[in-house]
């Protein structure tokens, strides 16, 4: 694999902290690769490396502001990259771009923001590309972004506040908003986002790559917004995983979960069921197991196997108390069967479900609040309890005041109840 450095020159980091750091820590890319091979490092060596790095940080640089490298891997992102880098400039001390094969004007756009641009020969491994990008960083902390990510002004300020002064964290998790209804985020989960460079954090996984948490972990509220302007290549991740299997690679539990998920998203329901059922027999992460049960339900329903679908969904209850999405699916089942009181029961359970967004699991705000409120509005209307139906409609309106269904219901109840509502 050939890697080319196309930067015009290596800029000197303006922060004295970053320049002084070079006396003690080399960039990842110039340290022998065996240093970072998980299979060749004992737990003790990982701990000592991390402990020594943090000790240098505390002893040498007390009172000196920390610096932040923002790292991106990109390919054919000309349409969105400037939007992302405009945000990054507000909190980054350096921006690292790793291009994996763009044929549009992505690289030229990136040159307007940084001269630290590198080329990486794509090898169907997102972790390898991200680790290469991290290896080019020179600042105290490293942060990853995708080209179609956006950071609001307030979140930019929060990130800058996290880094300046004397931060005592090794890894910061930040909320990642991946779906929206207008400007309102509807699908959010926490991701590991900012990491202390001296801790030598590494991404793992060819697709849906992640970093294993360790060290002093904090949770911030600076939201990163994933705002696509084009559809993702739907088969890309599936093909990567299938190539791994064809090469004789045994998927780990996390990869197995995402393989089943990719099969579902691409309409391969029987194959998805086989993979997800096998995944549930293993020792995967509990949040993935709960999501796997929901995905199995969807796959079985797509094959019109309703009994198997709801049996799979109910299995999620053995891993944790009922989640909002499962309750909404069951509410929909009974609504469809005209069992209105049972539907009411499950939609009310959805409203009463607790969830921990910092768990790392996916949180769909619509199924936690808006959807059950709207469905309860309809259900109570059919049951003849118009006052209660109106209450749930108004509750939905506090979440989405401009929603057309809410506004139409508001007019309906004004007429039905003969008063302002």
pLDDT, position 226:
97
pLDDT given at position 34: 33
Note whether 171 and 217 are within 8 A (CB).
Answer: yes
- The predicted pLDDT at position 231 comes to 80
Q: Give the pLDDT confidence score for residue 263 in this predicted structure.
A: 98
- pTM for this model (two decimals): 0.83
Q: Compute the distance between CA of residue 17 and CA of residue 57 in angstroms, rounded to an integer.
A: 10
Q: Does domain 321-421 have CATH number 1.25.40.10?
A: yes
Instruction: Give the pLDDT score at 65.
Output: 77
pLDDT at residue number 50: 46
Retrieve residue 263's tokens: 């099969």
End-to-end CA distance of the chain: 67
Domain boundaries, the chain: 3-226, 232-320, 321-421
Q: Residue 419's pLDDT is what?
A: 66
Please choose, from the candidates 77, 204, 75, the residue with its C-alpha nearest in 3D space to the C-alpha of residue 130. Answer: 204
Domains 3-226 and 321-421 share a fold: no
Confidence at residue 70, expressed as pLDDT on a 0 to 100 scale: 98
> What is the number of other CB atoms lying within 10 angstroms of the CB of residue 248?
6
Instruction: Give me the CATH code for the 232-320 domain, please.
Output: 1.25.40
Quick one: which of 206, 155, 202 has its CA closest to 176?
Answer: 155
What CATH architecture is 3-226? Answer: Alpha-Beta Complex (3.90)
Strand partners, 73: 98
Region of residue 356 (left: phi > 0; alpha: psi -120 to 50; beta: else): beta
Q: How far apart are CA 95 and CA 78, in angstroms?
A: 16
pLDDT tens for the chain, residues 1 to 421: 444 444 333 333 333 333 333 333 333 333 333 333 333 344 444 444 444 445 445 444 445 679 999 999 999 999 999 999 999 999 999 999 999 999 999 999 999 999 999 999 999 999 999 999 999 999 999 999 999 999 999 999 999 999 987 789 999 999 999 999 998 999 999 999 999 999 999 999 999 999 999 999 999 999 999 999 888 777 999 999 999 999 999 999 999 999 999 999 999 999 999 999 999 999 999 999 999 999 999 999 999 999 999 999 999 999 999 999 999 999 999 999 999 999 999 999 999 998 888 899 999 999 999 999 999 999 999 999 999 999 999 999 999 999 999 999 999 999 999 866 5
């Amino acid at each position: 694999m050939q890697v080319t450095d196309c930067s015009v020159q290596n800029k000197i980091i303006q922060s004295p902290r970053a320049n002084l750091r070079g006396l003690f820590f080399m960039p990842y890319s110039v340290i022998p690769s065996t240093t970072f091979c998980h299979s060749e490092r004992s737990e003790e060596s990982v701990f000592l490396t991390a402990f020594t790095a943090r000790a240098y940080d505390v002893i040498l640089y007390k009172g000196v502001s920390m610096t932040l490298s923002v790292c991106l891997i990109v390919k054919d992102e000309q349409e969105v990259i400037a939007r992302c880098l405009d945000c990054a400039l507000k909190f980054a001390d350096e921006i690292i771009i790793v291009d994996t094969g763009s044929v549009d004007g992505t690289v030229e756009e990136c040159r307007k923001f940084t001269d630290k641009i590198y080329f990486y020969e794509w090898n169907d491994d997102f972790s390898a590309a991200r680790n290469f990008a991290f290896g080019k960083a020179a600042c105290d902390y490293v942060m990853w972004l995708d080209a179609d990510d956006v950071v609001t002004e307030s979140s930019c300020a929060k990130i800058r506040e996290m880094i300046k002064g004397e931060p005592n964290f090794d890894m910061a998790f930040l909320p990642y908003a991946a779906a929206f209804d207008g400007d309102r985020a509807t699908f959010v989960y926490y991701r590991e986002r900012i990491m202390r460079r001296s801790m030598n954090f590494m991404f793992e996984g060819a697709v849906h790559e992640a970093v294993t948490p360790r060290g002093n972990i904090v949770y911030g509220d600076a939201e990163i917004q994933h705002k696509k302007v084009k559809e993702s290549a739907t088969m890309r991740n599936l093909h990567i995983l299938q190539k791994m299997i064809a090469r004789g690679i045994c998927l780990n539990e996390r990869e197995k979960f995402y393989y089943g998920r990719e099969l579902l998203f691409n309409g391969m329901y029987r194959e998805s069921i086989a993979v997800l059922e096998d995944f549930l027999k293993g020792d995967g992460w509990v949040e993935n197991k709960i999501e796997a049960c929901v995905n199995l339900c969807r796959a079985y329903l797509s094959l019109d196997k309703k009994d198997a679908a709801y049996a799979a969904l109910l299995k999620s209850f053995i891993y944790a108390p009922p989640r909002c999405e499962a309750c909404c699916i069951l509410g929909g089942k009974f609504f469809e069967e005209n069992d209105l009181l049972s539907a009411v029961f499950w939609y009310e359970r959805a409203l009463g479900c607790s969830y921990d967004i910092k768990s790392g699991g996916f949180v769909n705000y619509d199924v936690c609040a808006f959807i059950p409120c709207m469905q309860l509005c309809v259900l109570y209307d059919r049951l003849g309890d118009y006052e209660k139906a109106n209450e749930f409609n108004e509750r939905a309106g506090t979440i989405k005041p401009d929603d057309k269904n809410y506004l139409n219901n508001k007019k309906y109840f004004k007429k039905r109840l003969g008063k302002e509502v």
